[in-house]
Structure 1
Amino acid sequence: MKSLRNSVQLIGRLGKDPEVKEFNKSKKASFTIATTDLYKNQKGAKVEDTQWHNIVIWGQLAGIAEKYLKKGMEVCVEGKLVHRNYETDKGEKKYITEINVNDLVMFGKQD
């Protein structure tokens, strides 16, 4: 059985085309996907809650993302959560949560 520790699976739409960088003969693709939940609030009004997720794909799968993924496409990503931080030139500490993807399913073009 596949380990469920630190396992994330999301289905959403790309917010932008992947940004691809090359490192020592390997590739890194990064982009965002949006997931939307619909529900009714206490007053019965429909509420749409959209969350944006930072996605990172490495290696051969990054090349596939570069070639085929476009803004608006629906995808399913599976991977793990990674938290990291860095300091800006102004000395501000920034925190980022990303999903490092190990599996990708493309559902097709934008509706």
Structure 2
Amino acid sequence: MAWLNKIMVIGNVGTDPEMRFTPNGKPVTSFRLATNRFFTASDGERKRETEWFDVVTWDRQAESCNQFLTKGQRVYVEGRLRTRSWEGQDGQRRFRVEIHANRVIFLDRRAVSELPEGEPPEFKEAEGTIGPEELP
């Protein structure tokens, strides 16, 4: 029997990424991600439902997320769900489901909060062409 644990979400980074290191020196970056779903309620009112995800990245991806992601940026995250548990200060067992990302794609260049309202980001077409010998 085959098993599958995979999640793919597109949303906005809700907190600036926070990088720390394991005892072995491995970089780990975490951030929160918000996704929105818009729907019309039975009374005809337009509503928004927001889901929050805790995202964890490792190694070079952790370094990239820490360096280039900021709150408000739109990203695609792909990974697997993992449940973490610990004992709280009150002695109660706590649980948190996290996305352990194996892929994070930055979908815009600037944080949404930096853009003027109602104005989409500007993307210019590249001028000229480059040959294969000019690629790094």
Please indicate the TM-score interval, normalised by the length of the shorter structure: over 0.9
**Higher CA-based Rg:** 2
* Matches of 1:54 and 1:13, distance apart in 2: 12
AA partner of residue 19 (structure 2): V
Instruction: Tell which deviates more after alignment, 53-62 or 4-13.
Output: 4-13
Matches within 5 A, 1:32-111: 32-108=32-108, 109-111=110-112
Deviation, structure 1 residue 43: 1.1
Q: Which runs of 5+ in 1 are unaligned?
A: none
Q: Which has the higher contact order (CA 8 A, sep 6+)?
A: 1
Show the counterpart of 2:19: 20
CA deviation vs aligned residue, 1:79-107 (integer Å, no higher than 9, x gap): 00011211012201111000000011001
* Matches of 1:16 and 1:86, distance apart in 2: 22
Runs (4+) of structure 1 exceeding 2 A deviation are none
TM-score by length of 2: 0.76
Which has more strand, going by share of residues?
A: 1
Name the count of aligned residue pairs.
109
CA deviation vs aligned residue, 1:25-52 (integer Å, no higher than 9, x gap): 3100001000000000111110100111
Q: Percent identity among equivalent residues?
A: 29
Q: Which runs of 5+ in 2 are unaligned?
A: 113-136
Deviation, structure 1 residue 110: 2.2
TM-score by length of 1: 0.93
